[in-house]
């Protein structure tokens, strides 16, 4: 544990004012970081370095897998001396091969939670910590069912619920899909050097009609451990050096390096004493487009955080996420929150995204909804509590990010867990995991990270580079809409409010209003494949079941293309062409016929065969690492061409709770 002496800062250099570092909070669910921990100086903060100005040494390294069985090439070695150059610190590890090896060893979820490896959810559920999570989630499922009489498990229900038996089934298991270095969250708890996060995704493996069927499911567990120096003589710089692994180190060698005594995943660094939290994000309900045609369907996600309590876990407050039921009921408490938010003491913290709302105002559960992100009041708790006029007298002079009442409310909503999980996300998730089968093309993501996370990684790499250099990093972050390819097709742009004038579109693109009340979407002219073609006005309600799209009008697609409408599952509609008539930015993909597909899986047939027999080729928007999809679309692998295509998330079977059949 760091001693906290004033004459040394946490980065290895001298800083007599380090004892004034603010304790800040952020929604730490999964890969999402609506408020990554940040520090704030007492004067005007310097401008954040642009992500596109990073040097090659600062860019996040990629962990390229190598063939299984490659002998380890890395052995434990002493920490580098202060004058020894170090490799860039790894911030995110997503190699499926590396993660599978870690999962089979030190990063088995059963070992981390209960001290015993678990092969499936049945074994995992016997431990006290997973049992505690299941008890709380079962109460949530019961409450949801009591509030929605059409909700139930299975295709026979119009509103399909998460199947709670998955949490205890011997055919279900979890797969490690990401290891995340969150050293950038140091200021959240100055006595630590940020966090190590291990992200797991629920999955299953079963035998159906003599065929082995596997799929992931829309649920993730984020297991968070504190990062600490090894003794008082070390600082966060030495902690960062644990992650300094050359990009050339891959496969089994990377596994050995990560789990070595000097590595960030050494068993002594993943102990019960260092466990900070277990955080859950799951799709609790999905309505198909046929049930909610104007909205192109509807889905809900439960967000929960659990803190250690002896051998168990207990629900914890969600960072910066207000308890709407309590605050709407208690006017005095709501006015107290408004007074706290508008106080001068919170002014710079709010602008920088370093706000730490007191626990007395916060909720223990949040629900985010899709599609249509910030056009849904359920994803905007502060917008439900307050109006722009409540901030009419706010002093915006000299602020960098928050320059108007609308911008202030959006900043607040972006700091909540449900708001963050709907900011340029993949249907409420920011990290979904690379496929274990590198050759898979059916029901498979081409890009397993969200545009939000991709942009966040560039900011985090700047922080890591500064810490490794022994410098004071700039921990502030822009608004949640900032992403890696700001200005590209599909990214957000300002519609006139002064808080968003910096969000502009690249040449040749037009800033177009879709659903979002404050931000538009950068779109190409001429309505090519992938373009929206049925847009209306959102009528937002506090209860998301009452949300509607009004006056949706179908517009023309480019010549030779047609509009797939909301009622068949395409939010705002989506133009598609034939694969014989592809233009710039288009690629041949595949779309299943939903009626035929649902009939097939309704007969409990293996879903891979259902996909193959009901899919047809279509010219769609091409996507990839440098080609993001617009909101409510994901980049899926194309079975008909190299690369990815943009498609609604629930067209991927692994992204929906309904239709999965496990052998009895």
Summarised one tens digit per residue, pLDDT across range 548-565 is 999 999 999 999 999 999
Whether 661 is covered by a domain: the verdict is: no
User: Are the C-beta atoms of 25 and 412 separated by less than 8 Å?
Assistant: no
Q: Would you say residue 96 has pLDDT above 90?
A: yes
Q: How far apart are CA 224 and CA 197, in angstroms?
A: 5
Q: Would you say residue 14 has pLDDT above 80?
A: no
Q: Which two tokens stand for residue 19?
A: 């004892």
How many other C-beta atoms can be found within 10 angstroms of the C-beta atom of residue 551? 8
How many other C-beta atoms can be found within 10 angstroms of the C-beta atom of residue 526? 14
Lowest mean pLDDT among 11-15, 142-146, 371-375, 653-657: 11-15
Between 251-259 and 96-103, two packed helices, what is the crossing angle to 10 degrees?
A: 40
Whether residue 100 is found in the same domain as residue 198: yes
Whether residue 31 is found in the same domain as residue 171: yes
Q: What is the DSSP string of 153-199?
A: SSTTSSEEEP-GGGGT-TTEEEEEEEEEEEGGGGGGSTTS--EEEEE
Domain stop point among 411, 427, 462: 462
What is the percentage of the chain residues whose pLDDT exceeds 90? 78
The residue ranking higher by pLDDT, 126 or 80, is 126
Whether 82 is covered by a domain: the verdict is: no
- Confidence at residue 25, expressed as pLDDT on a 0 to 100 scale: 35
Whether residue 93 is found in the same domain as residue 163: yes
- Confidence at residue 224, expressed as pLDDT on a 0 to 100 scale: 98
Whether residue 545 is found in the same domain as residue 450: no
Q: How many structural domains compose the chain?
A: 2
In the predicted model, what is the mean pLDDT of residues 288-302?
96
Report the predicted TM-score, pTM, of the whole model to 2 decimal places: 0.88
Q: Which residues span the domain enclosing 253?
A: 18-56+88-462
Q: How far apart are CA 632 and CA 424, in angstroms?
A: 8
Whether residue 454 is found in the same domain as residue 498: no
Whether 500 is covered by a domain: the verdict is: yes
Domain stop point among 446, 462, 478: 462
Q: Would you say residue 638 has pLDDT above 50?
A: yes
User: Are the C-beta atoms of 194 and 180 separated by less than 8 Å?
Assistant: no
- Confidence at residue 85, expressed as pLDDT on a 0 to 100 scale: 53
Cα dihedral sign for 631, 632, 637, 639?
Answer: negative
* Three-point CA angle 456, 56, 636, nearest 5°: 50
Q: What is the DSSP string of 245-292?
A: --TT--HHHHHHHHHSTTSTT-GGGSSGGGEEEEEEEEEEEEE-TTTS
Whether residue 458 is found in the same domain as residue 491: no
Whether 365 is covered by a domain: the verdict is: yes
Whether 77 is covered by a domain: the verdict is: no
Whether 471 is covered by a domain: the verdict is: no
Q: Would you say residue 509 has pLDDT above 50?
A: yes
Whether residue 590 is found in the same domain as residue 628: yes
- Confidence at residue 474, expressed as pLDDT on a 0 to 100 scale: 87
- Confidence at residue 413, expressed as pLDDT on a 0 to 100 scale: 97
Whether residue 320 is found in the same domain as residue 388: yes
Whether residue 424 is found in the same domain as residue 523: no
Query: Kind of pairing, strands 298-309 and 172-182?
Result: unpaired
User: Are the C-beta atoms of 64 and 75 separated by less than 8 Å?
Assistant: no
Q: How far apart are CA 244 and CA 452, in angstroms?
A: 24
When pLDDT is cut at 50, 70 and 90, the band that residue 61 belongs to is: very low
Q: What is the DSSP string of 567-605?
A: GGT-TT-EEEB-TTS--TTEEEEEEE-HHHHHHHHHTT-
Using alpha carbons, list the distances in angstroms from residue 255 to 9, 76, 603: 31, 12, 43
In the predicted model, what is the mean pLDDT of residues 315-333?
97
- Confidence at residue 479, expressed as pLDDT on a 0 to 100 scale: 86
Contacts of 170 (CB under 8 A, 6+ apart): 120, 121, 122, 123
According to DSSP, the residues that pair with 615 across neighbouring strands are 592
User: What b/e sequence results for 466-493 when a residue is b if at least 16 CB atoms lie within 10 Å of its CB, and e otherwise?
Assistant: bbbebebbbbbbbbbbbbbbbbbbbbbb
With residue 225 as reference, give the H or E element that holds it: strand 211-226
- 485, HSE (Cβ side, Cα atoms, 13 Å): 17
Using alpha carbons, list the distances in angstroms from residue 289 to 59, 279, 376: 40, 29, 17
Whether residue 413 is found in the same domain as residue 522: no
- Confidence at residue 172, expressed as pLDDT on a 0 to 100 scale: 98
* Chain segment 331-389, per-residue pLDDT in tens: 999 999 999 999 999 998 899 888 889 999 999 999 999 999 999 999 999 999 999 99
Whether residue 366 is found in the same domain as residue 503: no
* Chain segment 382-419, per-residue pLDDT in tens: 999 999 999 999 999 999 999 999 999 999 999 999 99
- Confidence at residue 352, expressed as pLDDT on a 0 to 100 scale: 86
**Closest by CA position to 566, among listed 299, 291, 375, 284:** 291
**Closest by CA position to 450, among listed 34, 63, 32:** 32
Whether 62 is covered by a domain: the verdict is: no
Whether residue 286 is found in the same domain as residue 413: yes
Q: What is the overall mean pLDDT for the chain? A: 87
- Confidence at residue 68, expressed as pLDDT on a 0 to 100 scale: 31
Lowest mean pLDDT among 78-82, 253-257, 408-412: 78-82
- Confidence at residue 187, expressed as pLDDT on a 0 to 100 scale: 77
Whether 651 is covered by a domain: the verdict is: yes
Q: Would you say residue 37 has pLDDT above 80?
A: no
- Confidence at residue 482, expressed as pLDDT on a 0 to 100 scale: 78
**Closest by CA position to 407, among listed 374, 364, 452:** 374
User: Are the C-beta atoms of 600 and 610 separated by less than 8 Å?
Assistant: yes
Q: Would you say residue 1 has pLDDT above 60?
A: no
């Amino acid at each position: 544990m760091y001693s906290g002496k004033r004459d040394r800062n946490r980065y290895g250099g001298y800083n007599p004012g380090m004892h004034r570092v603010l304790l800040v909070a952020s929604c730490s669910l999964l890969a999402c970081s609506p408020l990554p921990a940040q520090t704030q100086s007492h004067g005007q903060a310097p401008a954040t370095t642009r992500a596109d100005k990073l040097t090659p040494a600062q860019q996040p390294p990629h962990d390229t897998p190598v063939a299984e069985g490659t002998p380890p090439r890395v052995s434990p070695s002493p920490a580098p001396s202060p004058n020894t150059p170090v490799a860039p610190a790894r911030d995110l590890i997503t190699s499926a091969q590396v993660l599978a090896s870690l999962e089979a060893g030190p990063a088995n979820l059963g070992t981390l939670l209960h001290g015993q490896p678990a092969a499936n959810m049945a074994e995992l559920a016997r431990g006290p910590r997973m049992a505690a999570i299941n008890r709380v989630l079962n109460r949530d499922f019961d409450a949801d069912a009591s509030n929605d009489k059409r909700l139930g498990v299975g295709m026979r229900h119009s509103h399909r619920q998460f199947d709670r038996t998955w949490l205890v089934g011997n055919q279900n298991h979890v797969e490690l899909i990401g290891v995340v270095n969150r050293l950038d969250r140091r200021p959240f708890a100055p006595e630590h050097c940020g966090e190590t996060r291990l992200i797991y995704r629920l999955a299953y493996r079963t035998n159906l009609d003599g065929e082995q069927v596997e799929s992931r499911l829309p649920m993730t567990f984020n297991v968070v451990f504190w990062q600490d120096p090894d003794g008082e003589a070390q600082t966060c710089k030495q902690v960062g050096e644990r992650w300094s692994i050359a990009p050339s180190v891959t496969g089994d060698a990377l596994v050995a390096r990560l789990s070595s005594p000097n590595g960030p995943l050494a068993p002594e660094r993943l102990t019960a004493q260092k466990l900070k939290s277990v955080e859950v994000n799951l799709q609790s309900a999905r309505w198909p487009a046929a049930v909610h045609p104007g909205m192109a369907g509807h889905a809900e996600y439960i967000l929960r955080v659990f803190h250690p309590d002896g051998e168990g876990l207990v629900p914890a407050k969600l960072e910066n996420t207000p308890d709407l039921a309590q605050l709407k009921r208690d006017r005095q408490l709501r006015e107290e929150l408004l007074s706290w938010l508008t106080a001068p003491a919170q002014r710079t913290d709010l602008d920088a995204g370093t706000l730490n709302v007191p626990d007395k105002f916060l909720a223990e559960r949040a629900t985010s909804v899709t599609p249509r992100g910030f056009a849904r009041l359920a994803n905007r708790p502060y917008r439900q509590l307050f109006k722009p006029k409540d901030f009419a007298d706010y002093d915006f002079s000299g602020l960098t990010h928050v320059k108007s009442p609308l911008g202030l409310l959006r900043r607040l909503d972006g700091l909540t867990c449900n708001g963050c999980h709907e900011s340029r996300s993949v249907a409420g998730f920011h990290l979904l995991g690379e496929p274990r089968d590198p050759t898979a093309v059916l029901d498979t993501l081409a890009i397993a990270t969200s545009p939000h996370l991709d942009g966040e990684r560039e900011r985090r790499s700047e922080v890591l580079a500064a810490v490794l250099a022994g410098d004071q990093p700039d921990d502030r972050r822009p608004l949640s809409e900032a992403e890696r390819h700001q200005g590209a097709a599909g990214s957000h742009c300002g519609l006139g409010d002064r808080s968003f004038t910096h969000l502009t579109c690249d040449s040749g693109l037009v800033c177009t209003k879709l659903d979002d009340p404050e931000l538009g979407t950068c779109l190409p002219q001429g309505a090519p494949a992938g373009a929206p073609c049925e847009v209306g006005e959102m009528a937002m309600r506090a209860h998301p079941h009452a949300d509607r799209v009004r006056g949706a009008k179908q517009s023309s697609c480019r010549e030779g293309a047609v509009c797939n409408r909301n009622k068949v599952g395409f939010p705002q509609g989506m133009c598609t062409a034939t694969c014989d008539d592809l233009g710039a930015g288009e690629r041949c993909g595949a779309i299943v016929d939903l009626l035929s597909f649902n009939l097939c899986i309704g007969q409990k047939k293996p879903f891979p065969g259902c996909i193959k027999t009901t899919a047809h080729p279509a010219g769609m928007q091409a996507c990839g690492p440098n080609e993001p999809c617009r909101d409510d679309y994901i980049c899926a692998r194309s079975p008909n061409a190299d690369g990815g295509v943009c498609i609604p998330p629930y067209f991927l079977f692994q992204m929906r709770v309904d239709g999965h059949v496990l052998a009895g």
